[in-house]
Amino acid sequence: MTIKKAVIPAAGFGTRFLPASKAVPKELLPIVDKPTIQYIAEEAIDTGITQVILVTGREKGSIEDHFDISFELEHHLRSKGKNDLLKIVQEISEMVQIVSIRQKMPLGLGHAILCAKQIVGDHPFAVLLADDIVDATPPCLRQMIDVYNKLGKGIILAIKEVPREEVYQYGIIDGELIEDRLYTVNSLIEKPSVEESPSNLAVIGRYLLPPEIFEVLEGLPPGKGGEIQLTDAIARLGETYPVYGYRFRGERFDAGDKMGFFIANVKFGLKHPELGPRISEFILKTAEEIQKGYETH
Ligand code: UTP
């Protein structure tokens, strides 16, 4: 059975992005001219997902509004003859079937996924983190589902190599390469120290999970940081269920982190059809000024 439902958890506090994320969900901060979460929803749609389940929380209602019809705005744009903008706005609300559910307290990513249990039902499903953008063709999730369809079963985690000194920021796998880009995962550890880390292969924000994960999440105690960790649930289910890591093709940006967000803006800005040439010119000019500054000091 192939995967048609995707959960996008977006109920976290976003503490790494304060103060910007105090009243505005970090998932709505724009990468050039589109909110981060729209890139994520587009990846799901381009992959062939037919139902997106948003997990939102307090102060996050604007995320639902972003994907809803905005009658007043559409009326205003229509009456002003701004048809290009009208089309952009309408396309967002017509994208895909979006269902949303609230996580009443942000108790951790694992808990956020558990909130989607009833809507997901008894099917394998995808999870895309709302602040993790992957620039890839075909989309990262499509690559993963292609692998899943070949294997027919299993948990699949998107993985990438990270510098050894950064392993403490990620879930890290202990795995063996079995074919091009595909690893079997023997164990998983959330945010290990450099010394205890079994590899430098980090799990990033794309997962394919079976419905059995919900049962594990229901009985799971809080883990690192006092949060109900998805990594812990995967590690536990992995004792009886095959887990694979797939080293996807593409570039990943952590848009929930200030520096990752800035880099994503530069990279997507350079590719933007209208703004790209001006952004490139601006960067080159700024780099020249920085260089001159170094030379005169
Ligand atoms: P993060 O690890 O980025 O956590 O979550 P966070 O709490 O949002 O941000 P920081 O670390 O405090 O800066 C990854 C994704 O999971 C969601 C977040 O909204 C984000 O999209 N999430 C996290 C939830 O939906 N609920 C939670 O309890 C935690």
Q: Which residues contact 82 (CB under 8 A, 6 or more apart)?
A: none
**What residues make up the domain containing 288?**
259-297
Is the domain of 274 the same as that of 190? no
Three-state secondary structure string covering the chain: CCCCEEEEECCCCCHHHCCCCCCCCHHHCEECCEEHHHHHHHHHHHHCCCEEEEEECCCCHHHHHHCCCCHHHHHHHHHCCCHHHHHHHHHHHHCCEEEEEECCCCCCHHHHHHCCHHHHCCCCEEEECCCEEEECCCCHHHHHHHHHHHHCCCEEEEEEECCHHHHHHCEEEEEEEEECCEEEEEEEEECCCCCCCCCCEEEEEEEEECCHHHHHHHCCCCCHHHCCCHHHHHHHHCCCCCEEEEECCCEEEECCCHHHHHHHHHHHHHHCCCCHHHHHHHHHHHHHHHHHHHHHC
Rounded-to-integer distance, Cα 281 and Cα 252, Å: 24
Is the domain of 210 the same as that of 79? yes
Is the domain of 13 the same as that of 62? yes
Is the domain of 52 the same as that of 153? yes
**What's the pTM value of the predicted model, to 2 decimals?**
0.93
Number of domains in the chain: 2
Residue 49, pLDDT > 90, answer yes
Q: Is 55 in the pocket of ligand 1 (CB under 6 A)?
A: yes
Task: Report CA(12)–ligand 1 centroid distance (Å).
Answer: 4
Rounded-to-integer distance, Cα 214 and Cα 197, Å: 27
Rounded mean pLDDT, 163-168: 95
Nearest to 4 by CA among 43, 38, 44: 44
Mutate to test the pocket of ligand 1, among 59, 111, 129 (most ligand atoms within 8 A of CB): 129
pLDDT score, position 67: 83
CATH at 224: 3.90.550.10
Q: Is 116 in the pocket of ligand 1 (CB under 6 A)?
A: no
Point out the least confidently predicted range of 10-14, 65-69, 160-164, 221-225. 65-69
pLDDT score, position 150: 94
pLDDT score, position 26: 93
AA letter at 134: V
Chain segment 61-112, per-residue pLDDT in tens:
888 888 888 888 888 889 999 888 888 888 887 877 889 999 999 999 999 9
Count Cα atoms within 13 angstroms, Cβ side, for 196: 10
With both helix axes pointing from N to C terminus, report the angle between 71-79 and 83-94 in degrees, rounded to the nearest 10: 160
Q: Is 107 in the pocket of ligand 1 (CB under 6 A)?
A: yes
Residue 214, pLDDT > 80, answer yes
pLDDT score, position 183: 97
Is the domain of 158 the same as that of 289? no
Point out the least confidently predicted range of 25-29, 90-94, 284-288. 90-94
Is the domain of 280 the same as that of 173? no
Mutate to test the pocket of ligand 1, among 131, 254, 257, 258 (most ligand atoms within 8 A of CB): 131
Q: Is 101 in the pocket of ligand 1 (CB under 6 A)?
A: no
Atom of ligand 1 nearest to the CA of 257: 13
Rounded mean pLDDT, 254-261: 95
Is the domain of 160 the same as that of 270? no
pLDDT score, position 66: 86
Is the domain of 248 the same as that of 265? no
**39-57 per-residue burial string, b: 16 or more CB within 10 A, e: under 16:** bbbebbbebebebbbbbbb
Task: Report CA(289)–ligand 1 centroid distance (Å).
Answer: 38
Percent of the chain with pLDDT strictly greater than 90: 79
pLDDT score, position 296: 74
Is the domain of 141 the same as that of 231? yes
* Residue of the CA atom closest to atom 8 of ligand 1: 12
Q: Is 131 in the pocket of ligand 1 (CB under 6 A)?
A: yes
Is the domain of 173 the same as that of 293? no
Task: Report CA(111)–ligand 1 centroid distance (Å).
Answer: 11
Task: Report CA(145)–ligand 1 centroid distance (Å).
Answer: 24
Is the domain of 28 the same as that of 14? yes
Rounded mean pLDDT, 162-168: 95
- Please give the structure tokens belonging to residue 24: 């505005």
pLDDT score, position 297: 66
Atom of ligand 1 nearest to the CA of 21: 13
Is the domain of 250 the same as that of 264? no
Residue 190, pLDDT > 80, answer yes
Q: Is 106 in the pocket of ligand 1 (CB under 6 A)?
A: yes
Percent of the chain with pLDDT strictly greater than 70: 99
